[in-house]
Amino acid sequence: MIASAANTPLYTPPSGPPLDHSSTTRHCPSNSFTLSFPPTPFPDPSLSLSNHSRMDFAGRLATSCFRTRKGLKVEADFAAEEFFYPDAKAPPEHLVIMVNGLIGSAADWRYAAAQFVKKLPDKVIVHRSECNTSRSTFDGVDTMGERLAEEVLGVIRRRPELQKISFVAHSLGGLVSRYAIGRLFDHIPQLESSGAPQSFSAEEKKQHIEQFHRARIAGLEPVNFITVATPHLGSRGNKQFPVLCGLPFLERRASQTAHLVAGRSGKHLFLTDDENDGKPPLLLRMVTDSEDLKFISALRAFKRRVAYANVNYDHMVGWRTSSIRRQHELPKSSELMKNDKYPHIVYEEQSTHDDVCNKALLVIDQKFDLEEEMIRGLNQVPWTRVDVSFQKSRQRYIAHSTIQVKSYWLNSDGADVVFHMIDNFVL
């Protein structure tokens, strides 16, 4: 069993009370899982355990075919489940945080988590976040991001061996992850050659971070930031929320009523959260650095940023918003080609630092709308864009879930997307 607690936190959280990670371990002789549950917050401990077991039962059924290989161990607590191999010579040093979308749960990533650990044994430990589930995903991107940041810090406190961190997020979870890394970003480099604090000018700090990659997320080295069908530009605008069929009347009505369905998260997605406080919409603020939240610096700190996007049949998130592109930048149908190894990957585009610099030099004499400002802000850093199409799949009408393999029974055709993600994962 890998050590599950540390007396000294690696990173001081920005706010909130310390978490209690004492736990009771339950062994299940019928399979290879070890489950660790913390003291329950409910008056009746059996009630809490029973609810947790029922919630996880469907996920285990849906992924029963992935539990045949011996040695896979799962450590579960109130916050999530961590997947790892206990027979490794040394504890894995690379933490992978998986984040669910709107009205989702940790079970949404069960298939992908199992595949990551099976294909990268001894390399990664996968933590499926469960601090934002079900109706709590209506609380707003900022509130959810704060909770995710606290949860990540809790994991790191328990595992002092961790050195690297990556994020894999679906749908709204991508926005939540972007907020969380802005909160967890540490932009002051520490020189290992001296134990005493060093004085740097602002320019020296920037150069040191960019040249030597000393930026940290929650004290760890940031590696991969991967989003899957995430509405980076929000859901407002022509065909950004495809279920409305691009009809202007319906899109206007959706912007006006989104908060009635999805609470503050709906306001953030449709960029209507500026009505009361006079501040720019949150998603617009999240493409810049502020005094206490370094959103772009945090994204820049990762070695690799990837946006997986559905070309068609995603009724929840449009192609432009999930791939961070303008309409004319989308690949033409003639450019979409079938990949023999990954049948549903139809296009890949990788931008470079030179591309980012060249685009920054372009001057367009026009008033930028919100979407254009967000595109320009997010394109300050290079992105790898991976376009996915389930056009010939029987599961195409549920593409938003299939691209993630939310349930293997219903979304198995998205498995090649998960394998593509793993095969290109930087360790």
Write out pLDDT tens, residues 372-425. Answer: 999 999 999 999 999 999 999 999 999 999 999 999 999 999 999 999 999 999
| DSSP conformational letter for 304 | E
Predicted local confidence at residue 278, as pLDDT: 76
Distance CA 162, CA 222 (A): 12
| Residue 86 backbone dihedrals phi, psi, to 5 degrees | -75, -15
Q: Which amino acid is at 282?
A: L
Higher pLDDT: 337 or 76? It is 337
415-423 and 110-119 helices cross at what angle (nearest 10)?
A: 40
Instruction: Kindly compute the dihedral angle of the four CA atoms of residues 364, 331, 170, 219, in this order, to the nearest 10 degrees.
Output: -60
Average pLDDT over residues 321-331: 97
How do strand 80-84 and strand 94-99 relate by DSSP bridges?
unpaired
pLDDT of residue 61: 32
Q: In terms of Cα–Cα distance, which of 1, 46, 39, 35 is closest to 19?
A: 39
> Which residue(s) pair with 170 in the sheet?
228
Residue 294 has pLDDT above 60, yes or no: yes
CA 221 to chain centre: 16
- Enter the DSSP assignment of 128: E
User: What is the per-residue pLDDT for 337?
Assistant: 94
Burial class (CB in 10 A: 0-12, 13-18, 19+), 358: exposed
pTM (2 d.p.): 0.76
Q: Which two three-digit tokens encode residue 343? A: 């049948």
Q: What is the average per-residue pLDDT within 365-374? A: 76
Q: How far is CA 403 from CA 18, 109, 202, 411, in A?
A: 36, 11, 42, 8
Task: Read off the pLDDT of each residue in 103-109 and give the average, rounded to a whole number.
Answer: 96
What gap in Å lies between CA 98 and CA 127, rounded to an integer? Answer: 6
Q: What is the pLDDT of residue 244?
A: 87
- The single residue listed with the structure tokens 């195409």 is 396
User: Which tokens belong to 267?
Assistant: 């306001």
CB 231 within 8 A of CB 317: yes
Structural domains of the chain ordered from first start: 24-191+198-423 (3.40.50)
DSSP state letter for 289: B
Residue 155: the pLDDT is 95
| Residue 325 CA: distances (Å) to CA of 166, 213, 228, 231, 385 | 23, 27, 15, 11, 9
pLDDT > 90: percent of the chain:
59
Predicted confidence at residue 88, as pLDDT, reads 64
* Distance in angstroms (rounded) separating the CA atoms of residues 231 and 325: 11
The label of the residue with tokens 């760890």 reads 220
Q: What is the pLDDT of residues 208-252, one digit of tens each?
A: 545 444 799 999 999 999 999 999 999 998 889 998 888 788 888
Position 379 scores a pLDDT of: 96
Place of tokens 């992978």: 96
Pairing of strands 384-388, 345-350: antiparallel
Q: Is residue 228 within 8 Å of 174, Cβ to Cβ?
A: yes
Residue labelled with tokens 């489950």: 35
345 beta partners: 388
Neighbours of 230 (CB within 10 A): 27
The pLDDT of residue 327:
95
Q: What mean pLDDT is reported for the chain?
A: 79
Which range, of 184-188, 291-295, 314-318, 370-374, averages the lowest pLDDT? 184-188
Q: Which helix (H) or strand (E) holds 192?
A: none
* Average confidence (pLDDT) over 167-184: 98
**3-class DSSP state of 52:** helix
Start-end of H helices in 17-170: 45-62, 110-119, 141-158
Q: Is 320 helix (H, G, I), strand (E, B) or coil?
A: helix
Read off the pLDDT of residues 124-166 as tens digits, 9 standing for 90 and up: 999 999 999 999 999 999 999 999 999 999 999 999 999 999 9
Confidence of residue 357 (pLDDT cuts 50, 70, 90): low
- Chain length of the chain: 427
Determine the average pLDDT of the residues in 280-286: 95
Computed on alpha carbons and rounded to an integer, the radius of gyration of the chain in Å comes to 21
Distance CA 406, CA 310 (A): 15
Half-sphere exposure for 11 (CA within 13 Å, toward CB): 26
36-86 residue pLDDT tens: 333 333 233 332 323 333 334 333 333 333 333 333 444 434 344 676 666
Give the pLDDT confidence score for residue 85 in this predicted structure. 64
pLDDT value for 351:
82
- 359 has pLDDT over 50: yes
